[in-house]
Amino acid sequence: MARKKAKGAGKKKDAKEKPDDAKEKPDDAKPAGDEGEKIISEKTPLEKIMNFFQTPLGLFLAIVITIFLVFLAVQAVIMCLNEWEKTADLRHAMQLVKTFMMRKDSSYEDKDVKIRYKLNHDWMAHKDAIYLFVVQPQNWTESRKFCMRQNAKLLRVENAEEEEFIEGIAYGKHNSYWIGAIKESNKWIWLDDKTEVKLLYWAEKSPRKEDTTPDQPFCMRLKNDCTIPRKCWTDIRCNYWARSICKIKPLKKWMN
């Protein structure tokens, strides 16, 4: 009986020890299971972004960004159309010139190319001429020479409409602008062809009553702070510094 009890006690002891062993096995396997769950649950940045834009806030931001991009695209198109319209007159004139001159002499194609180049490098088109508003101040003589190097002439104003166009560009700029007239023998002449200036757009208290001398001539300039249309010309010694306006105009025979 004692032996049977001992054996029974031994079996009970073994039975108690087995649960401890059984507990150890799940503990050993548990870390691997946790790590696997973490790996599966982690999302890539792209997935996080996609999930964000599926939320109400994300959808709202997506709509706002889309509207903003469409607005920028529309503005870009409008700007392009405006720039295209600015040169419409010149394009029409140049097409007439090109068609006529190419019939006479194919070398005139190069002149058309030069005009187009100037339009893309600070020159401005108006009616049947192009203009360069030179920012660098110089005296009148140097300004005239600069325009000649551009195959142009220092501005000669031909009518009231052109005068108002020039005044609109010059207004509010940092300095006044030389134009191509000079006083000789107490008369104002366009120096490019020595003809007398017929249309005069003098500002109040201009021109000066002083007589001109060969060593100190008076030249004509356009005021940059003029507020009365067609009343913007003044005269001053030619050795003063000012900005200038160069002008190129196709020959009249090109337009026949």
Is residue 62 located within the same domain as residue 144? no
Residue 15 pLDDT:
47
| Final residue of a structural domain among 87, 121, 155 | 121
pLDDT of residue 216: 82
Domain assignment present for 8: no
Q: Are residues 63 and 175 located together in one domain of the fold?
A: no
pLDDT above 90 (res 224):
yes
Tell me the CATH number at 214. 3.10.100.10
Which of 58-72, 73-87, 158-172 holds the top average pLDDT? 158-172
Q: Are residues 141 and 247 in the same domain?
A: yes
CA distance 201 to 162: 12
CA dist 227 → 41, 83, 87, 153, 172 (Å): 74, 28, 27, 26, 10
Domain that holds residue 175: 128-251
**Does residue 1 form part of some domain?**
no
The reported pLDDT for the residue numbered 210 is 75
Amino acid making up residue 247: K
Please indicate, yes or no, whether residues 115 and 147 belong to a single structural domain of this protein: no
For the chain, the average pLDDT equals 78
pLDDT of residue 51: 83
Is residue 94 over pLDDT 60? Answer: yes
What's the confidence (pLDDT) of residue 254? Answer: 46
pLDDT of amino acid 162: 95
The total of structural domains in the chain comes to: 2
DSSP 127: T
| Same structural domain, 179 and 239 | yes
Q: Say whether both 139 and 212 belong to one domain.
A: yes
Rg of the chain over all Cα atoms, to the nearest angstrom: 43
Of 16-20, 167-171, 172-176, 234-238, the range with the lowest mean pLDDT is 16-20
* Rounded mean pLDDT, 146-159: 94
Q: Is residue 235 part of a domain?
A: yes
Over residues 112-125, the mean pLDDT reads: 63
What is the structure's pLDDT at 166? 95
Q: What is the predicted pLDDT for the residue at 46?
A: 80
